[in-house]
């Protein structure tokens, strides 16, 4: 009897704990999705639902993103190893790893996680291999460098994706009746704006790609601006998701198009650089630099951000405070702008060297890129 009573009490305790946890989660959900934080005054999540002939973006639409991200990573692996690799060999790009002397002991140690052994470890490896510590140190230094072929295939992948996304973005946006007129970007916000299936897929592709970049950044070519790129990817992902959730998809789509407009020129210039076709590299880099400054230093702050700042409250309705998501959206745009300034100065420095030396030097963001 005592055992039964104890069991019933334990069951009651578990049930109470589950109910309390459910209550806490419900309160957290209500707090997090408070419409006063996410939406302008007078709008609720009920207004975001698709109805009355208007198709509006839903959070549940984004459940497809993890699957698309995995698919992109798989496609990237196949493309880089079986298409880009042969293309790069065809245009004369050779892997620097071909120069590394084969050594099974060093390979096993490197594969085990020791990428940069200290002096004591170098001496141990030297005794095992019969090499000098200088030879061992040189072998690990060369091995740490991403092969030229690896860099080239990465650039081929990004060049392809940016080109396809920019072309698709132009196809989706150029035929709208609001893209060319900034005054129309906010007209009918939520109430009379409907998102097309093509626009949804533009969001799906861009978001999946940036999530895949965030994941692969840890295995891609190491760059000096690793942290800046990491912050850029995080900000971009939040901006894409946030603008979709609160139905600011017009601004989100325009920002995505602006970012894609210059990047494929840069990746093309890198491929030309790796292939040592210097004249083509110089031309592509100049086009990239001009496009970058026009899109990210001029159009982004003076048209996109200014329209959001100037017209958002008057057209969309007043906001509850400066700590609401539409304002956070603006703050993150400012964060992107500062990153644009940072990269812009690096590009300007390369342009200066180009005008002095007569050719584009290595990518200023890369630790190991060769001329």
Same structural domain, 221 and 290: yes
Counting the structural domains of the chain, the total is: 2
Q: Are residues 298 and 321 in the same domain?
A: yes
**Whole domain around residue 63: which residue ranges?**
58-92+147-357
Quick check: is 17 in a domain? no
On whether both 310 and 185 belong to a single domain, the answer is yes
pLDDT of residue 2: 57
Largest Cα–Cα distance in the chain?
Answer: 93
Predicted confidence at residue 13, as pLDDT, reads: 64
* 350 and 292 part of one domain: yes
Compute the distance between CA of residue 275 and CA of residue 94 in angstroms, rounded to an integer.
8
Please give the pLDDT value at position 368: 44
Verify that 230 and 121 share a domain, yes or no.
Answer: no
Q: How much of the chain, in percent, has pLDDT values that exceed 70?
A: 85
Confidence of residue 147 (pLDDT cuts 50, 70, 90): low
SS3 content of the chain, % helix, strand, coil (to 5): 75, 0, 25
CA-based nearest residue to 363, from 292, 294, 285: 285
Handedness of CA 154, 159, 162, 163 (dihedral sign): negative
pLDDT, tens digit, 9 for 90 and up, residues 235-268: 999 999 999 999 999 999 999 999 999 999 999 9
Which residue, among 228, 218, 214, has the nearest Cα to 345 in the 3D structure? 228
Do 137 and 260 belong to one domain?
A: no
Q: Domain check: are 212 and 103 in the same one?
A: no
- For residue 10, tell me if it sits in a domain: no
What is the per-residue pLDDT across 306-331, written as a single tens digit (0 to 9) for each?
988 887 766 666 666 677 888 888 89
Residue 321: exposed, middle, or buried by beta-carbon count in 10 A (0-12, 13-18, 19+)? exposed
Q: Is 92 helix (H, G, I), strand (E, B) or coil?
A: coil
| Structural tokens at position 107 | 């390979």
Look at residue 197 in the predicted model and tell me its pLDDT: 95
Supply the pLDDT for residue 43.
82
For the chain, percent of residues with pLDDT exceeding 90: 43
Question: Residue 57 has what pLDDT?
Answer: 92
Q: In this structure, is residue 11 part of a structural domain? A: no
Phi, psi torsion values for 51, nearest 5 degrees: -165, 170
User: Both 69 and 188 in a single domain?
Assistant: yes
């Amino acid at each position: 009897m005592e055992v039964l009573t104890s069991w019933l009490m334990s069951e009651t305790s578990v049930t109470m704990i589950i109910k309390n946890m459910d209550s806490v989660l419900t309160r957290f959900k209500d707090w997090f999705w408070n419409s006063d934080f996410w939406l302008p005054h007078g709008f609720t999540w009920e207004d975001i639902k698709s109805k009355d002939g208007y198709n509006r973006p839903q959070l549940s639409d984004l459940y497809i993103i993890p699957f698309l991200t995995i698919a992109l990573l798989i496609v990237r692996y196949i493309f880089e190893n079986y298409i880009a690799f042969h293309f790069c060999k065809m245009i004369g790009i050779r892997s620097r790893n071909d120069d590394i002397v084969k050594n099974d002991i060093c390979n096993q140690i490197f594969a085990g996680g020791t990428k940069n052994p200290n002096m004591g470890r170098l001496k141990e490896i030297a005794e095992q291999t019969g090499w000098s510590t200088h030879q061992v140190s040189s072998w690990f230094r060369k091995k740490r460098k991403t092969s030229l072929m690896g860099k080239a295939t990465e650039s081929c992948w990004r060049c392809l994706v940016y080109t396809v996304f920019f072309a698709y973005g132009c196809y989706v946006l150029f035929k709208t009746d609001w893209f060319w007129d900034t005054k129309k970007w906010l007209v009918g916000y939520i109430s009379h704006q409907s998102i097309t299936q093509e626009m949804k897929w533009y969001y799906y592709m861009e978001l999946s790609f940036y999530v895949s970049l965030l994941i692969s950044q840890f295995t891609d070519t190491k760059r000096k601006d690793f942290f800046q790129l990491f912050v850029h990817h995080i900000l971009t992902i939040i901006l894409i998701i946030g603008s979709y959730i609160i139905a600011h998809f017009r601004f989100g789509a325009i920002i995505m198009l602006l970012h894609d407009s210059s990047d494929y020129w840069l990746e093309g210039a890198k491929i030309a650089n790796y292939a040592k076709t210097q004249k083509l590299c110089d031309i592509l880099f100049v086009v990239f630099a001009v496009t970058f400054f026009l899109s990210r230093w001029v159009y982004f702050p003076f048209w996109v951000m200014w329209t959001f700042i100037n017209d958002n409250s008057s057209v969309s309705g007043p906001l509850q405070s400066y700590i609401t998501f539409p304002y956070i959206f603006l703050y993150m745009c400012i964060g992107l702008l500062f990153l644009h300034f940072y990269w812009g100065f690096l590009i300007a420095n390369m342009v200066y060297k180009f005008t002095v030396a007569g050719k584009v030097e290595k990518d200023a963001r890369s630790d190991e890129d060769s001329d």
